[in-house]
Chain A
């Protein structure tokens, strides 16, 4: 095995002899990845000389968990949802992050007070607030346009296929909202068996009209190709398609599902020091504000908000497109990490059985 090691070192050295320091960042791909490359990676490499490798995943928590369990960690920084950050931290997989080491806001406010509530966890630092929203292709309907989550389930008035993600977390809530449950009570209802039954019963009504998606870029593609007339989608992705590619899409903010994306560092990260450097750099006030120039996600620092201005095209005002705008918050569901840490496995199983049965 020693020879193997020497051999493998020799081989990897052979191919990448030139690389000095680097950091592997696992993120969500697509337009979101592009925004991170522009706002974080390029200035980071320019300033420190550390090369950043971006790796795309459907959900970066998935490879992270697998890598930790197998004792084979290859990524240094992962961009994950809050519930996964808490869960992985509980399992002792992540490095604990002391908020004191994060840079203060330009006016001197310490990081602890600058980040929005919930954005700093034991092992994670949020970079953005984002929403899953309903979006539709305006060319698919005539006359009246859909307005609410209930319209999503109304295939009579608004014909065409629907796009939904193939997981329970971002489908069940929508069914309940459409069924008349107020956003604030979603988790109370979903915590009971009757509530889950109710959500599945609502989903049953459109089951045959659903095209399921898995990666964040897929729903945008489905909408653009005309495969679906309405879909749920991450708000930044659909904004990108609407503004940068002039696609005829509209967003329905009713029943928005809000979540944060957090940077975490696994304990066994191969480039630990570079990872910490990256995390500190990417979550400072200016960087978070810069990201909003490339994608419509809200910065996780309060001090960044005033720095958010126009989209990269120089004309589009970003504020109304943010998931944190007043209109967007009217009937928004906030993610409940505890609930999902507990019930995810059971819900996934039931969801799969539901999907598989015809």
Chain B
């Protein structure tokens, strides 16, 4: 629509001005130029209307996210506080054994960092890559408060033997450059060994790839469930007379408009072991009092609650597509001898595919990023990758790792968003 070349008026003018006697406007300028100018003005005016919002979104949304993602590959926790030994690393090859200069630089940096009370930060940074080293830095820092004499190597080793560990030096070398891919490696359960090769982490520490997999798998299950539940409802609403369907539509929209926390709470009330559903099952004798089902604080809880919360996002696009399907096609198929199942499968269903695609993509995109609901009803097996991002953000404070995980998740969502825009068109998104 925005393409000027396709504008019918523009086309007319360009052929007209191609003729021998160019048309002119009232003030004598050629009509084509006058039109182009006025179109430029109209374009600028349209753009000016959008500009304030675009600037607002860029500043309050795009920039903050970009700034956060920067942390995923930039961490100056070591290099900024240990300048001398970082310089030594920059000058030497990987695999160089620390010489006297290196030990002297290390001792000087540690003393300065202990003075400035930044030694714990350095330790925290190294601890990300080599666990158990944080206290090495803090305790050495404490020991160095009174200063250190040469020979530095021997004296440092006397404070703690661990300073001689080649793995520690390898990790420090990695950390001496603020720009690093290590956090992305960690986000896919990889690490570098003492020689700098990329290896999988110990099996007992692997968690993120599994969680990414679980997030996508659960989102897929939830999308499928919303489809199974949403399709009959959308079909019913689309085929009922408008008065009735508008009334029933309220039942779809009410959950949509109700606070997310309220809905999550009510699922907790319903599904817990002493909750309403279990009470009902025991009361009707379907299960015994001792056999109460565990339906919450696990994956089941996450799936049920999220399906409920995302169901309207499937129903609404399906409904708007189904409304436009002409019922006479199905009737024609029936009159030509198709069974009702065949007519549905071969004639009706294919026409609902655009709505289905829109709904499924929307539900899937929203599901992969869910945080609140799994946090409250997911227990441990229903946690998704967002919960890990939140954990590293607020409790372990490994922000670089949180940012790397977020970047991977964001990339996946943006790819899906792009697909959505290609397939459905972002301007066809409707609410209610």
Chain A positions near chain B (C-beta within 8 angstroms): 59, 62-63, 65-66, 69, 87, 90-92, 161, 166, 211-212, 225-227, 338, 341-343, 345-346, 348-350, 352-358
> Which residue in chain A gives the minimum CB-CB distance to B383?
A356
Q: Chain A residues near B273: list those with CB within 8 A.
A: 161, 225-227
Is there a chain A Cβ closer than 8 Å to B258's Cβ?
Answer: no
Q: Chain B residues near A227: list those with CB within 8 A.
A: 272-274
Is there a chain A Cβ closer than 8 Å to B399's Cβ?
Answer: yes
Whether A346 contacts B132 by the Cβ 8 Å rule is yes
Interface string of B188-211 (1 = CB under 8 A from A): 000000000000000011110011
Interface residues of B in 194-237 (CB under 8 A from A): 204-207, 210-211, 214
Whether A350 contacts B135 by the Cβ 8 Å rule is no
Whether B205 contacts A90 by the Cβ 8 Å rule is no
Whether B380 contacts A356 by the Cβ 8 Å rule is yes
Contact of B274 among A63, A226, A358 (CB under 8 A): A226
A215 to chain B, nearest CB (A): 11
Q: Chain B residues near A212: list those with CB within 8 A.
A: 297, 379-380
A216 to chain B, nearest CB (A): 15
Q: How far is the CA of A60 from the CA of B379 in the complex (A)?
A: 22
Q: Chain A residues near B134: list those with CB within 8 A.
A: 341-342, 345
Whether A211 contacts B297 by the Cβ 8 Å rule is yes
Whether A225 contacts B272 by the Cβ 8 Å rule is yes
Q: Chain A residues near B119: list those with CB within 8 A.
A: 90
Q: Interface size bucket, B side?
A: 35 or more
Whether B117 contacts A353 by the Cβ 8 Å rule is no
Q: Chain A residues near B13: list those with CB within 8 A.
A: none
Chain B positions near chain A (C-beta within 8 angstroms): 116-121, 124, 127-128, 131-132, 134-135, 138, 141, 204-207, 210-211, 214, 272-274, 297, 379-381, 383, 388, 391, 393-399
Whether B131 contacts A343 by the Cβ 8 Å rule is yes
A257 to chain B, nearest CB (A): 19
Whether A62 contacts B204 by the Cβ 8 Å rule is no
> Which residue in chain A gives the minimum CB-CB distance to B135?
A342
Whether B117 contacts A62 by the Cβ 8 Å rule is no
Given A92-B120, A225-B274, A353 and B135 contact (CB-CB distance below 8 Å) = no
Q: Chain A residues near B399: list those with CB within 8 A.
A: 69
B210 to chain A, nearest CB (A): 6
* Interface-centre pick from A90, A161, A166 (highest chain B CB count, 10 A): A90
A267 to chain B, nearest CB (A): 10
Q: Chain B residues near A166: list those with CB within 8 A.
A: 380
Q: Chain B residues near A87: list those with CB within 8 A.
A: 120
B374 to chain A, nearest CB (A): 13
Whether B138 contacts A341 by the Cβ 8 Å rule is yes
Other than the known A66-B394, A345-B396, A345-B398, what 7 A-B pairs have Cβ atoms closer than 8 Å?
Answer: A62-B395, A90-B141, A92-B116, A92-B117, A227-B274, A352-B388, A358-B381
* Interface-centre pick from B118, B204, B381, B391 (highest chain A CB count, 10 A): B204
Q: How far is the CA of A227 from the CA of B273 in the complex (A)?
A: 6
> Which residue in chain B gives the minimum CB-CB distance to A357?
B210
Q: How far is the CA of A341 from the CA of B136 in the complex (A)?
A: 11
Contact of A66 among B380, B381, B393 (CB under 8 A): B393
Given A90-B117, A355-B380, A66 and B397 contact (CB-CB distance below 8 Å) = yes
Given A69-B399, A342-B134, A358-B381, A349 and B207 contact (CB-CB distance below 8 Å) = yes
B119 to chain A, nearest CB (A): 8
Contact of A349 among B205, B210, B380 (CB under 8 A): B205
B171 to chain A, nearest CB (A): 14
B55 to chain A, nearest CB (A): 14
Whether A356 contacts B204 by the Cβ 8 Å rule is no
Q: Chain A residues near B206: list those with CB within 8 A.
A: 353
Whether A338 contacts B135 by the Cβ 8 Å rule is yes
Q: How far is the CA of A251 from the CA of B125 in the complex (A)?
A: 41
Q: Chain A residues near B397: list those with CB within 8 A.
A: 65-66, 69
B143 to chain A, nearest CB (A): 13
Q: Chain A residues near B132: list those with CB within 8 A.
A: 342-343, 346
Given A66-B393, A90-B138, A352 and B274 contact (CB-CB distance below 8 Å) = no
> Which residue in chain B gives the minimum CB-CB distance to A343?
B132
Q: How far is the CA of A355 from the CA of B383 in the complex (A)?
A: 10
User: Can you give 16 contacting A-B residue pairs, CB < 8 Å?
Assistant: A66-B393, A90-B120, A91-B120, A92-B118, A161-B273, A211-B297, A211-B379, A225-B273, A226-B274, A227-B274, A342-B134, A345-B134, A345-B396, A352-B388, A353-B205, A354-B204
Q: How far is the CA of A14 from the CA of B297 in the complex (A)?
A: 42
Given A212-B297, A341-B138, A350 and B120 contact (CB-CB distance below 8 Å) = no
Whether B380 contacts A353 by the Cβ 8 Å rule is no
